[in-house]
């Protein structure tokens, strides 16, 4: 394993720790406005809704998730998290937060995606490669397939997504 791969793996595994630093940066730079708070809450609500939706489709390590939000984008959980980060950034009212927090978010979550894609490719092989050819990594491509399948509340709970909400 190269030094770069070791660094990527380190960042991916410890991204939650690094993300805990974000509120400190946000508090230091905060200059909230009512418009920023309303916009931020909207981003957070949409991001969390996407995360709940995706968590209701994913059966970790069992099957390749390709329905619902996974038909539009390969990483809907991270897209939801990105929108949540945008929401908190908007609520601070300070551009410095956007300049600092969002690139850090992309580096940390990008490293997680790199590790996850490597794992999924080894687990699902050609099926995963075909899925990657059809579905973009970050920017959703909306199609009717997002309406296929159903969300499982039990799966949301099993994936502990409800704990992230609080």
| Res. 61: pLDDT tops 80 | no
What confidence score (pLDDT) does residue 59 get? 76
pTM of this prediction exceeds 0.85: no
DSSP one-letter code for 74: S
Convert the pLDDT of each residue in 2-53 to its tens digit.
776 777 677 666 666 666 666 666 667 778 889 999 999 999 999 999 998 9
Total count of domains within the chain: 1
Query: 91: domain CATH number?
Result: 1.20.120.1630
Range of the domain at 118: 3-165
CB-CB neighbours of 135 under 10 Å: 18
């Amino acid at each position: 394993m190269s030094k770069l791969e070791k660094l990527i793996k380190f960042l991916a595994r410890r991204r939650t720790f690094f993300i805990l630093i974000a509120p400190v940066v946000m508090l230091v730079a905060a200059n909230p406005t009512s418009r920023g708070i309303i916009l931020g809450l909207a981003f957070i609500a949409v991001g969390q809704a996407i995360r709940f939706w995706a968590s209701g489709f994913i059966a970790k390590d069992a099957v390749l998730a390709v329905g619902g939000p996974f038909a539009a984008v390969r990483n809907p959980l991270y897209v939801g998290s990105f929108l949540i980060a945008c929401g908190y950034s908007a609520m601070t009212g300070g551009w410095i937060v956007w300049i600092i927090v969002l690139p850090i978010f992309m580096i940390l979550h990008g490293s997680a995606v790199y590790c996850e894609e490597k794992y999924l490719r080894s687990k699902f092989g050609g099926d995963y490669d075909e899925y990657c050819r059809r579905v973009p990594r970050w920017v959703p491509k909306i199609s009717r397939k997002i309406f296929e399948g159903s969300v499982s509340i039990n799966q949301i709970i099993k994936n502990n997504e409800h704990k992230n909400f609080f």
